[in-house]
Structure 1
Amino acid sequence: MGRGISNGVKGLTLVEILVVFAIFGLLLGSSVVGLTVLRGGADLEAEARGLSRVLELARNRTIASEGAARYGVYVDTSVAPHRYVLFQGDDYLSRVSEEVYQLRDTIEFGAVSFGGGQEVVFNRIQGTTGNPGSAILRGKADPANARTVYVGSSGAVEIDSGAAPNDDDRVKDSRHVHIDYTRNPPIDTATEELILDFGTATEVIAISDYLAGGQIVWEGTIEVDGEEQKLKIHTHVLNSGFDSQFSVHRNRRLNTKPLSITLSGDITGKLIEYAADGEIISGGESIYVSAVIPQ
């Protein structure tokens, strides 16, 4: 009898110990989650202020005519972690110098659009810009926790808080399109060309001349029948295995001619084709295009 009671007490004590450890584990887990959220919120505020300060620095340097040059900021989401770059020059591609700012590992960029692109450049004397727009910063662990940094046409920089916009509610059209492209063998960046066919004019772009940070980055103005056509073509993914992703920016206000884009190394068809009004006539005629996605 005594031995039975003794064993019962020992068993109850063991259960109690296990319960205590379980409660301790739950409390510890809750504390870790809470600290992670708090850290993410603090990091988000710091990054939003940091981006705002760098944008204002670029504007102030331009107004002061440092180096008799213009300055701008380019947002780079093609690397991990994301980063932004303060540069001297009329655009990022032709930059003379740069200062790189890497985001904390808890923060990333969401939607970025400065005049339809990922860079904003300020004009001398008054500090205005032809690339007004915004960049959303958000927490990786909590994407709904976001801050939006705005740049107005006057060059003024503001920070607004709020949830990141729902992607399903955002208006998507052919002004900005992603093209998923998978080819074996992959794109030969040393020899292949992008061919822009406007019907009455053709522009050939040597990929090797427009590589930056391991990606294709091209932006230009082509005159077609006396009218300027302004485009930007770059990649978010280039030859990751056999996969690439092209990004095409074609603002309808700045483009009035039909356009088709092909790769010289792909004889199976076009990457994409636009009508004069900007509507997509065909997307993914090439057998290597798996998806054409309006942004």
Structure 2
Amino acid sequence: KGNQEMKKRLENSLGIFGESKDIKKGEGFTLIEFLIVFLIFTILIILILSGFRSFQAQTGLDKNIQSSTQLLRLARNYAISSKNNQPHSVHIENGQIVLFEGTTYTAASTSNQGINLTNGVAIDQINLNPTSSTTEIIFEKTTGTTANDGYIRLSQTNDPSQNQLIYIEPSG
């Protein structure tokens, strides 16, 4: 009697061929529905990640502009205060900006203070007086003025249209 009752329960819940009687046809997800939902989520994730990368690149550019501007201000302040009785200058080359004492840049000098631009940011244009090949800004002792006015343009390496300028005025 116990076996027959168990068999009947099993047949009622699974049906004769193992089909569940509780699940009606047409319920659940088809493969196409699953693929459509998966595709939508994939597109959303791609859009979110690309937006994040763009934000990250812009943030990197902003940070490099701030660091470069601070270094220029520091060089001018050192010149105004006549630190070590010297004018102070900034040397610009691709990938780095270096503060140095005096008017002649020496890469090996231990008194140099520099910043390296982070990955994804480059100096793509230097336009300083007196010539287009000028790569140094010399701040005069006590006044902080410069004859090397102009601008420096930093840009994102993966999108050069995303750029910012640092202006250097004759007054420093």
Paired residues of 1:91 and 1:121 also in contact (CA < 8 A): no
Q: Note the alpha carbon deviations across 1:142-167, whole angstroms, 9 max, x for none.
A: 32121100111111xxxxxxxxxxxx
Normalised by the length of structure 2, the TM-score is: 0.75
Flag the structure with higher helix content.
2
| One-letter amino acid matched to 2:163 | A
SS at match of 2:30: helix
- Higher RCO by CA contacts (8 Å cutoff, separation 6 or greater): 2
Corresponding residue number in structure 2 for 1:87: 100
The aligned amino acid for 1:98 is: N
CA–CA distance in structure 2, aligned partners of residues 73 and 43 of structure 1:
21
Q: Given residue 161 of structure 2, which amino acid in structure 1 is its aligned partner?
A: A
- Counterparts of 1:120 and 1:154, CA distance in 2: 12
Distance between the aligned counterparts of 1:92 and 1:133, measured in 2?
19
CA distance in 1, matches of 2:108, 2:45: 49
- Deviation at 1:9? 6.1
Q: Distance in 2 between matches of 1:106 and 1:21?
A: 32
- The one-letter code sitting in structure 2 at the alignment partner of 1:153 is P
- Residue deviations 1:17-38 (CA, integer Å, cap 9, x gap): 1111111111111011101111
How well do the aligned residues superpose, as a CA RMSD in angstroms? 2.4
Q: Do residues 109 (structure 1) and 126 (structure 2) align?
A: no
Change over 3 Å in CA distance of 1:94–1:49 after alignment to 2: closer
Partner of residue 45 from structure 2, selected from 28, 31, 42: 28
CA distance in 2, matches of 1:33, 1:76: 30
Percent of residue pairs bearing the same amino acid type: 27
May I ask how many residue pairs the two structures share in their alignment? Answer: 146
1:1-295 to 2 correspondence within 5 Å?
Answer: 13-77=30-94, 82-93=95-106, 96=109, 97-115=111-129, 116=132, 117-155=134-172
Question: 3-state SS of the aligned residue for 1:16?
Answer: helix
Contact 1:87 1:95 in 2 (8 A): no
Structure 1 or 2: larger strand share? 1
TM-score (norm 1): 0.45
Displacement of 1:113 after TM fit?
2.2
**How many angstroms apart in 2 are the aligned matches of 1:119 and 1:51?**
13
Q: Which runs of 5+ in 2 are unaligned?
A: 1-18, 20-24
Q: CA deviation at 1:46?
A: 1.9
Q: CA separation in 2, counterparts of 1:14 and 1:94?
A: 64
The CA deviation at 1:65 is 1.0
* Structure 1 portions without partners, runs of 5+: 156-295
Structure 1 stretches (4+) deviating beyond 3 angstroms? 93-96
The answer as to whether partners of 1:88 and 1:95 remain within 8 angstroms in 2 is no
Higher gyration radius (CA): 2
Q: Which letter does structure 2 place at the counterpart of 1:101?
A: I
